[in-house]
Amino acid sequence: MQTLFLLILLTQNGAGDINAAFVTTPTRGQCEQKALMVASIFSSARIPILERRCIQSGLRFTPFEHLAGSRAPRHFYLLEFNPQGVEIQPQHDWRTCMQTQRAWRKEGRRVYCASSTQQPGGGSSALPAGVQRPGDG
């Protein structure tokens, strides 16, 4: 499996919901460059960025679509940021995701429940290493 770099970007909308975007790049330099470019765009639009990180990973997601719209299916993820990287756990639904986030934050963990129009594996039914199916964790 080719090692790539995954940009993970968490933003917060006006309602307080957290949105996740995932972008794969071939090098860390390109990942960092894309992170700076996207951060600049969100900053000028006054959209808060909660987290952004480039991690070395073979993990892939379906492509990010800027105009996915509110009718696009949403996928829910629990993302835990730590010094070693980011753990991404798909969740069955928003409520379960938020309940887990609250419980883990009480333990002092840096975790976010986020939604995204993207899903792991580029549409494949197999999940890449590092991503668990809901209920496996």
Give the tens place of pLDDT for each residue, 74-126. 899 999 998 888 999 999 999 999 999 999 999 999 999 999 999 987 533 33
Indicate the burial class of 59 (C-beta count within 10 angstroms; 0-12, 13-18, 19 or more): buried
Tokens 């995954």 label which residue?
Answer: 6
**pLDDT computed for residue 70 by the predictor:** 63
Query: pTM for the whole thing?
Result: 0.81
pLDDT mean across residues, the chain: 85
Q: How confident is the model at residue 130 (pLDDT cuts 50, 70, 90)?
A: very low
Q: How confident is the model at residue 34 (pLDDT cuts 50, 70, 90)?
A: very high
- Give the end-to-end CA distance of the chain in Å, rounded to a whole number: 24
